[in-house]
Amino acid sequence: MDKEMNKYRADFPILAQTVNDEDLVYLDNAATSQKPQTVIDAIVNYYRNDNANVHRGVHTLAERATAQFEAVRQKVARFINAPTSEEIIYTKGTTEALNWVARSYGERFVKAGDEIVISYAEHHSNLVPWQELAKRVGATLKYLDLTADGAVDLAKAEATITAKTAIVAVNQASNVLGVANPLAQLAQLAHQNGAILVVDGAQGAPHMVTDVQKMGADFYAFSGHKLLAPTGIGILWGKGELLAQMAPLEFGGEMIDWVELTQSSYKKAPLKFEGGTQNIEGVIGLGAALDYLEQVGMDKIAAYEQELVAYVLPKLQAIPGLKLYGPKDPKKHTGVISFNLDQIHPHDVATALDMEGIAIRAGHHCAQPLMRYLDVAATARASFYFYNTKQDADRLVEALLLTKEFFGNGTI
């Protein structure tokens, strides 16, 4: 289906450029995705025609801006199959959303002696907030073991998630290992023990059909910039009954119901969590991104990324001295592929590939505990999206072979 999907590449103007005199191959999509022209146009159109603050004015511009702002909330609810748009909260990204859950829900409902369970494969954004919560309330942080592929080991999870567990927090898909987690089963384990499931969807929402009700999550967070939208906009979804019990974390305009000299009351969710002027352009851009993804089809995106991985993974496995992390079976793999090449430092690999016009990521990927779990300091990471091609995959393999030859010949 590469011919069908490759037509979308022309919608992304940034991909038409050259880098170091080579056609750009952008394989850093796990860090941030590129933006189609329709998203760029939507942001420009808002500033050109509808720029006004939302919820605060009765003039025409304000009403147009507000209508667009709230329409996106409904689009998000459809995108993740949330029961109602009233459970959709705008944040600046996954990091802020997870911090809000840790602070507003966690500090009220987690107590001394409780346990917070996460996996070794979590991004720092789904790890450090729980560390801090555990310190503040006297809870214990426990880690879920991983299978050989890097997913949460369900057999061992049954012993880790107990009646003491208050929160289970895991990723939908790893930003390093390129493997999806068995969320429905983890949700069942958590709920059987009276705990809630918090899902970091940053690497899931852009790449696969997402249904928060089927996965059994209680909270779900994702970032717009990883799914074609601008930076600085994200989503926190939470079950309505949980949001109703949570206190707002920012106080000021728009989130209040009434204010007296010594006390105030607050609006219901989602507005009680959205104090101050929001990232309106980001919301508008997110709406345009969701429209675009709906046009392409999330099922097609997932299938095509599987096709790309099935194409490139054997080629990478055939490179002598290249070590892959995560599933060896393409059917179990997302578009994120982490690796190391011989004794060459990942930063040197990334620099060498950049000279060939290929953008990848190198480092610990905000997952230092996972690096220690894997017994490495860092990895290189190539991450694909639906606008990538098999030619991009071939360029990656060719550049890695050149890099290996270059460093192996002692020419550094």
Q: Which residues are catalytic?
A: 366
Token match 């578009």: residue? 335
For residue 25, with 0-12 CB atoms within 10 Å meaning exposed, 13-18 middle and 19 or more buried, which class applies? Answer: buried
CB 397 within 8 A of CB 206: no
- Distance between CA atoms of 267 and 55, rounded to whole angstroms? 13
Instruction: Kindly state the helix (H) or strand (E) to which residue 291 belongs, with its residue range.
Output: helix 280-296
- Distance between CA atoms of 236 and 220, rounded to whole angstroms? 6
Q: What is 122-139 written as a DSSP string?
A: --GGGTHHHHHHHHHHT-
CB 396 within 8 A of CB 312: yes
Q: Which residues contact 244 (CB under 8 A, 6 or more apart)?
A: 268, 269
Q: Where are the alpha helices (DSSP H) in 341-389?
A: 346-355, 368-374
Nearest to residue 33, comparing CAs of 370, 344, 335? 335
